[in-house]
């Protein structure tokens, strides 16, 4: 049974973690479901914004289900659990649609890394953020020491990873990691999504590519996507394709 749902609501799609009995901690199946939903969203032009949220009152996401990885060999842990999770979270981060994480309750470990993979975050005033991996003898593995290092100051990230300090909503917003703190973070996210839906979809997509190219989020692919989109609209491209089909030498107009 699916524990990660994809729900369409007009121009907004919701990715919903639904494993509250385990604090929405990720299992291998949940990772696969998240990846499948990301692929679906890329092929859904009617979706203009994505909200990532979860069920249950106790946690947004507690990270990775320890029972899913505790018995893995070092090789399987590194190659399959860490690399697969990292790749799938990257897939979410690189969606062409803008994404909003709704942190209504604590986001720990992989849960914080999941929220960091979204474009912006909306947080309840009572929620907290933490990277407690060292307390169970491991280290962040789904971009906690990489993507988060681009989003929050190094000293704060070290407080969290080395000393186990939790980050509350007010401080997270002050650092710029959280866009809004609200009593009803889902309602706030829906308000933001409604604003996004009124903007130019292509302009929003290209702006996201430009920012990612600047910050290093899949920079090579973003630069080539921008260049490819520009040349695909040119008369030169149309002439090249036409000449190839007609088996003649192209005469490029330079426009």
Can you give the pLDDT at residue 3?
95
Closest CA to 191 of 107, 127, 122, 124: 122
133, 217, 239, 251: which is the annotated catalytic residue? 133
Instruction: At 228, list the tokens.
Output: 């490819």
Can you give the pLDDT at residue 142?
84
Q: Which helix (H) or strand (E) holds 213?
A: helix 201-215
Fold of 4-197: 2-enoyl-CoA Hydratase; Chain A, domain 1 (3.90.226)
Q: Which residues contact residue 203 at a Cβ distance below 8 angstroms, ignoring those fewer than 6 apart?
A: none
Q: Mean pLDDT per segment of 10 residues, for the chain of length 255 residues? A: 92 97 92 96 97 98 80 71 85 96 97 97 98 84 89 96 95 98 98 96 93 87 84 88 91 88
- What residues form DSSP beta bridges with 52? 15, 101
133 annotated active-site: yes
Ramachandran bin of 64, using left for φ above 0, alpha for ψ from -120 to 50, beta for the remaining angles:
beta
3-state secondary structure 136-152: HCCCCCCCCCCHHHHHC
Instruction: At 19, list the tokens.
Output: 């494993």
Can you give the pLDDT at residue 165?
94
Can you give the pLDDT at residue 224?
83
Residue 168's CB is within 10 A of a number of other CB atoms, namely: 15
Interatomic CA distance for residues 41 and 43, integer angstroms: 5
Can you give the pLDDT at residue 51?
98
35, 113, 159, 224: which is the annotated catalytic residue? 113
Can you give the pLDDT at residue 68?
72
Closest CA to 71 of 109, 113, 28: 28
pTM of the full predicted structure?
Answer: 0.91
Can you give the pLDDT at residue 219?
84
**Residue 216 DSSP class:** T
Can you give the pLDDT at residue 65?
80
Can you give the pLDDT at residue 167?
97
**Residue 228 DSSP class:** H
Q: Which residues contact residue 29 at a Cβ distance below 8 angstroms, ignoring those fewer than 6 apart?
A: 3
Side-chain-side CA neighbours of residue 61 (13 Å): 28
């Amino acid at each position: 049974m699916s524990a990660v749902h994809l729900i369409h609501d007009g121009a907004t799609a919701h990715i919903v973690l639904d494993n509250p009995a385990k604090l929405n901690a990720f299992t291998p199946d949940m990772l696969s479901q998240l990846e499948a939903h990301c692929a679906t969203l890329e092929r859904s032009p009617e979706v203009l914004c994505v909200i990532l949220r979860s069920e249950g009152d106790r946690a947004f996401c507690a990270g990775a289900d320890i029972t899913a990885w505790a018995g893995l060999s070092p090789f399987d842990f590194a190659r399959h659990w860490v690399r697969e999770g990292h790749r799938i979270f990257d897939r979410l981060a690189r969606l062409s649609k803008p994404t909003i994480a709704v942190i209504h309750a604590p986001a720990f470990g992989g849960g914080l890394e999941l929220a960091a993979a979204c474009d912006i975050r909306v947080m309840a005033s009572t929620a907290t953020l933490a990277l407690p991996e060292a307390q169970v003898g491991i280290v962040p593995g789904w971009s906690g020491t990489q993507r988060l290092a681009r989003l929050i100051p190094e000293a704060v990230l070290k407080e969290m990873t080395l000393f186990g300090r939790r980050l509350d909503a007010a401080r997270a917003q002050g650092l710029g990691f959280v866009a809004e703190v609200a009593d009803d973070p889902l309602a706030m996210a829906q308000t933001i999504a409604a604003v996004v839906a009124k903007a130019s979809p292509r302009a929003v997509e290209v702006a996201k590519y430009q920012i990612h190219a600047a910050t290093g989020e899949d920079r090579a692919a973003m630069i080539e996507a921008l260049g490819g989109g520009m040349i695909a609209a040119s008369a030169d491209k149309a002439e090249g394709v036409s000449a190839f089909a007609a088996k003649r030498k192209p005469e490029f107009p330079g426009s």
